[in-house]
Each structure stands twice: as structure tokens, then as C-alpha cells.
Structure 1
Amino acid sequence: MSDLPWLASLLKSRNTIDGKIATLIGHTAQVGNVAEYIAATIFHIELDESGKRRGYDGHFTSGPLAGQTIDVQWHPRRDGQMNIKTDALPDYYLVFTGPETTTPSFANPWLIDSIFLFHAGELLNALRERGVQLGSGTSVTGPLWERAEIYPIPRNTRLRVSEEERKLLILFS
């Protein structure tokens, strides 16, 4: 017996959910757009209205990083890779990751297990020192990730996650 009726039912459900997410966030229901919405809400980021700024998605509106530009990324699997744009750098990269990948899987659940804040200039210098090729699948070493972590373990103190923000982030774990 064919699984096509079951697949069609699942896709209809997915289309309904994606439509509701798109209506809520005002953009298509893609992982990057959802990440920007979550980051903007929790970390007081004003997103660029056109969504077409080269190199960044918006800027912080308050706190110690007020006015600094930010590129938000969400990698459902924590695989050590980032998208580094060399033509126009933001001041910071804010990266949400899901669980670390240990075994191959077709599923990529949209979970936030960890959040990292990278100062773009410092990250770029460290990558260039190692001779890393920059682009959409830039390999970032474990020590750089560890130093950049702001959630759940606050190793990077440039952006502190408040208790209220932690409660909101737990919703996505």
C-alpha cells in the first residue's frame, strides 16, 4: 500500500502550520526568518524593514550592544558551521543552534539548545589565522564556539541573558 495519502495529509498539516507562522512573523516560515523574529523579540533587536541589508539583519536597540549590527542565524543541528559573508560584515553574529550532531538523521527539529554571540571582526581574524575558507559553510572550531556561548552557559559576557529571557528561550528547547 502506498504512503502517499499519509504524506499528503502531513504536507497539508505542515502547510497550515507554516501559514500560521508566516502570519505571526510577517515573513515566510523559514528557519532564518523565525530566528530573526525570536531574536528581535527576546534580545531587543530592530530588524531592517526591507530585510535586504547586506551583511546584517538589524541592530540592538538597548543594553551594552545598543546600535551594533547583528546577523542572526539558526542552525537546527550544531555542526560547527556558520554562514560568514565576507563582502559586508555585521558587528556581531548571533547564532542559535539545536542539538550537537552525533549520528546522521533526516530530521532537523527547530530547537534552541544553545546561543552564541560572536564579535564578527574577532571571529574573522581567528578564522583567517587558521586559513579557513569563508562562506556559507565556514567551519568554526570548538574553542571559538565555547568562548562565544551566552546560553545556556554564559561564557561570553558581552550579552547577558536575563532570567526572563531564559524562560522565553526554554520554550524553544
Structure 2
Amino acid sequence: MSDVDIERIAALLRERNGIDEKIAAIIQRPMAAGHLGEWIVAQVFGIELETSAVAAAVDGRFTSGPLRGQTVNVKWYLKREGLLDITVRTKPDYYLVLTGPAPPAASSRGSTRPWCIESVYLFDASQLLAELRTRGVRIGTASSVRAAQWTAAEIYPGANNPLLTVNPEQAELLRLFALR
């Protein structure tokens, strides 16, 4: 790598840090996929976030609709790779998962993880945990969730999970985060 490449990377990181600082000022938490994902779903789905960003397993509660009062753990994965971080000791009622695109089967070398939302999924935590245990899946970080489970949990853009319906206004807000 040449000095020009290092200088360019340093300049790009300064630009990124400036953007991250502006985002952090809006969401009132450090810029990270977890914090930003929580803020986005709070705005779109009417979720009241926990006051502490380090609350175990629960990021907030639904404030209206059929899930009112139910707890939720929010995840934002920049690519949908079929994995989900699941807590066991303290579990939420639901996992609300934002994902970017599914990665190609080829090597990730030279690819990116764009900050975008292509799909949203709602998993019933107890049901998912029971299904994974039945299959003998290791529960915790990067638990393997079958494609059929992802499909059944999809609430956007498909409406496969009847537990939470995405209305047209919510869909329009989510489309703002699509790859263009």
C-alpha cells in the first residue's frame, strides 16, 4: 500500500467520523448498527426504547397495536446471512430484525456491507428458541436460523407474519433506507 492510499483512507475516515457524529447527535447514542437500528424501528414502529442502551436482551416495548407492551430486541444486520444473535438468560418477547441484502455465494473479497434495509423480520422469541432447540442448534451469538423461518417471519417487503402488519406509511419510511 502506498502513502497515497494511506492518506486517502485517513481522509475518508475523517469524513465518515463527521457523518457518524451528525447521526449520533440525532439518535442521541453513538453511531453503530445496533443503536441506529433501534432508533429507526422506534420511529417507524412506535417502539419506546429503554433509557439505558445496555439493558439486557430488551431494547424497548411496542407502544401500540396488537403487540402493545410486548418487549423487543432489535437487530440490524447489514447482510442477511441466516444468522441471529439470540439471548437465553433474559429473553424478549420478540426479535425485530432489519437486514440488508443476502450476500452472493462467492467470496466477500472486494464487496461491501452497505448501510441499507431490504427486509424486516419479526420472530416470536419463545417459538424461535423452541424450534432451534428441537433442531439442536447452538443458541447464542450467530445462531443458525433456517431460510423457511426467515420467510415466515418477514413483515417487509413481504407480509408473511400476521403478528405485525407494515402499513403504507411505514413501508415508505423503510424504503428510504433501500439501496438505490
TM-score over 0.5 for the pair: yes
Name the SS for the 1:18 alignment partner. helix
Name the SS for the 1:115 alignment partner. strand
Corresponding residue of 1:104: 107
Using the TM superposition, name which of 29-38 and 99-108 deviates more. 99-108
Corresponding residue of 1:95: 97
> Per-residue deviation at 1:81?
0.3
How far, CA to CA, are the matches of 2:107 and 2:83 in structure 1? 16
TM-score, structure 1 length as denominator?
0.97
- In structure 1, stretches of 5+ residues that fail to align are none
Corresponding residue of 1:116: 121
Aligned length: 173
> Per-residue deviation at 1:70?
0.1
How far, CA to CA, are the matches of 1:7 and 1:36 in structure 2? 29
> Per-residue deviation at 1:92?
0.2
How far, CA to CA, are the matches of 1:11 and 1:42 in structure 2? 30
- Following TM superposition, the consecutive aligned residue runs of length 4 or more in structure 1 with deviations greater than 3 angstroms are none
> Per-residue deviation at 1:62?
0.4
Using the TM superposition, name which of 102-111 and 72-81 deviates more. 102-111
Corresponding residue of 2:87: 85
Q: Which amino acid aligns with 1:77?
A: K
- In structure 2, stretches of 5+ residues that fail to align are none
TM-score, structure 2 length as denominator?
0.94
1:3-26 per-position Cα deviation (integer Å, ceiling 9, x unaligned): 111111101100100100111100
How far, CA to CA, are the matches of 1:104 and 1:29 in structure 2? 28
Name the SS for the 2:43 alignment partner. helix
Q: Among 134, 140, 149, which residue is 1:135 paired with?
A: 140
> Once superposed, what is the RMSD of the aligned Cα atoms?
0.9
Q: Work out whether 1:32 is the aligned partner of 2:70.
A: no
Name the SS for the 2:55 alignment partner. coil
Corresponding residue of 1:147: 152
Give 1:158-169 correspondences, 5 Å limit: 158-169=163-174
> Per-residue deviation at 1:107?
1.7
Identity of aligned residues (%): 45
Name the SS for the 2:92 alignment partner. coil
Using the TM superposition, name which of 47-56 and 80-89 deviates more. 47-56
How far, CA to CA, are the matches of 2:162 and 2:41 in structure 1? 17
How far, CA to CA, are the matches of 2:163 and 2:131 in structure 1? 18
Using the TM superposition, name which of 51-60 and 146-155 deviates more. 51-60
1:121-169 per-position Cα deviation (integer Å, ceiling 9, x unaligned): 0000100000000111101000100100000000001000000001100
Q: Work out whether 1:43 is the aligned partner of 2:45.
A: yes
Q: Which amino acid aligns with 2:142?
A: G
